[in-house]
Amino acid sequence: MRHLTVCLMLASVAFAQPPGANYDEAKVPNYTLPELLKLNSGEAVKDAKTWREKRRPEVYSLLEQQMFGRAPGRPERMTFELTSMEPNALGGKAVRKEIAITTAGKTFSLLLYLPKGVKGPVPVFLGLNFQGNHAAAKEAGVKLAMTWPRASKGAEVVATQAAETSRGGAASRWSLDLILSKGYGVGTVYYGDIEPDYNGGMKHGVRPYYLKGKAEAADDWGAIAAWAWGLSRAMDYLETDKAVDSKKVALMGHSRLGKTSLWAGAADERFAIVISNDSGEGGAAISRRMFGENVKNLNTSFPHWFTGNYKQYNERVAEMPFDSHFLIALIAPRPVYVNSAQEDQWADPRGEFLGAVAASPVWRLYGKKGIETDKMPGIHQPVGDAVGYHVRAGKHDVTDYDWEQWIKFADRHFGRR
Ligand code: GCU
């Protein structure tokens, strides 16, 4: 009986993962990570000044050119319009606003909850969402989004008005009561408003405005960089809202949006904290481990996410001049939090942990502590200081447990209690 239970448990873990990938630690190849603290000239990086002035720009341009692509800066023309305001949202716990951000030929809506009865500008968690803003909260009043289906490769799809029944459909991922009770605001934007997530969806997003009929270059921005750019536009708004402490905005993203939060935090240093949940391949996980999803899987299933250049590494992962520790390190010296779910083997929890470990030396240059061990912690045992990490039980998701850790992390680094 015990044997049967163990077998069933293993089966359910295995079936939670797409088949055909390596899930065997013994089959992880030996690898050598590219050196983070060495300039392209070969010189060692021994202090924060050299990192900041010389090495960081090298690492940033490498990832920009090879992986995420060149994005435009802050648009010249942009408008913010308050489209709704509810002073007694969530049963009186919050003020709720919807702000239409219009730029680059698109309008995307920021849903913002701010805690009531809290003095002064408040820190805010900001993140993109998958299902439309109305899905983040279980309450009437939030405008129902026009949502895009995630289509398979090349298929043409259209946006449709979300159904009333989809309200609150993702509420378990946005622990609003908990976050607000700790004095934080929460802002979210539907990622499909910035660019629909399918190969070919680009024409409905912000990218064509900048391309203006030009062909895409091998280092032009992919969808992830476009979503990241959208987060910066939400930040542009937050800077204008007096109820928000824009110096204390913690960026959070799950999965593909966790890859996005890392790149958004790298590209825009106004984000004070960056959180990357279950971001896996192309996010926090070390690609060279070839565990779970790999570069080729990413580029095959989601050719629109990254640059054309990135595809050259499909069969040559060991030759990539970077790995995930380069991406994570770009957040330094700001605090960064990486976390995993035990059953999410496709995202390679150990690889995510090791990415955060390998990035940690950069924080040490600043006299800060990152993760000071390469021993993976057990379930529900957060580790690290300026670089934080935890693995929780369960599947690929965002849960209250994750939010509890991020709030503690933000409290610590924002000097709250
Ligand atoms: C797929 C994809 C991952 C991604 C995930 C998600 O599983 O392969 O790279 O992180 O979707 O965004 O949910």
Question: pLDDT tens across 365-413, in order?
Answer: 999 999 999 999 999 999 999 999 999 999 999 999 999 999 999 999 9
Confirm if 56 and 50 have CB atoms less than 8 A apart. Answer: no
CA 183 to ligand 1 centroid distance, Å = 31
Check whether 4 has a pLDDT greater than 70.
no
pLDDT of residue 151: 73
pLDDT of residue 403: 99
pLDDT above 70 coverage of the chain, percent: 95
Nearest C-alpha neighbor of 291 from the set 19, 27, 17: 27
CA 23 to ligand 1 centroid distance, Å = 16
The CA-based diameter of the chain, rounded to the nearest angstrom, is 67
Domain boundaries, the chain: 79-152+170-413
For range 243-258, the mean pLDDT: 98
What's domain 79-152+170-413's superfamily in CATH?
A: Alpha/Beta hydrolase fold, catalytic domain (3.40.50.1820)
Helix %, strand %, coil % of the chain (to 5): 35, 20, 45
Residue from 204, 304, 325, 396 carrying the catalytic annotation: 396
pLDDT of residue 7: 37
Confirm if 34 and 321 have CB atoms less than 8 A apart. Answer: yes
- Is 396 a residue of the active site? yes
Reported confidence tier of residue 3, pLDDT bands at 50, 70, 90? very low
CA 256 to ligand 1 centroid distance, Å = 5
**Could you give the residue ranges of the DSSP H alpha helices within 240-323?**
256-267, 295-301
pLDDT of residue 150: 83
Residue from 109, 246, 255, 276 carrying the catalytic annotation: 255
Q: Angle at the Cα of 354 (from 285 to 344), degrees rounded to 5?
A: 50
pLDDT of residue 10: 41
pLDDT of residue 18: 83
**H-run or E-run covering 13:** helix 2-15
Check whether 12 has a pLDDT greater than 50.
no
- Is 255 a residue of the active site? yes
- Does the beta carbon of 173 lie inside 6 Å of ligand 1? no
The alpha carbon of residue 251 and the mean position of all alpha carbons in its chain are separated, in whole angstroms, by 8
Q: Say how many Å lie between the first and final Cα of the chain, rounded.
A: 49
pLDDT of residue 283: 99
Burial per residue of 225-248, b for 16 or more beta-carbon CB atoms within 10 angstroms, e otherwise: bbbbbbbbbbbbbbeebebbbbeb
Whose alpha carbon is nearest atom 12 of ligand 1? 256
Check whether 1 has a pLDDT greater than 80.
no
Check whether 16 has a pLDDT greater than 90.
no
Reported confidence tier of residue 11, pLDDT bands at 50, 70, 90? very low
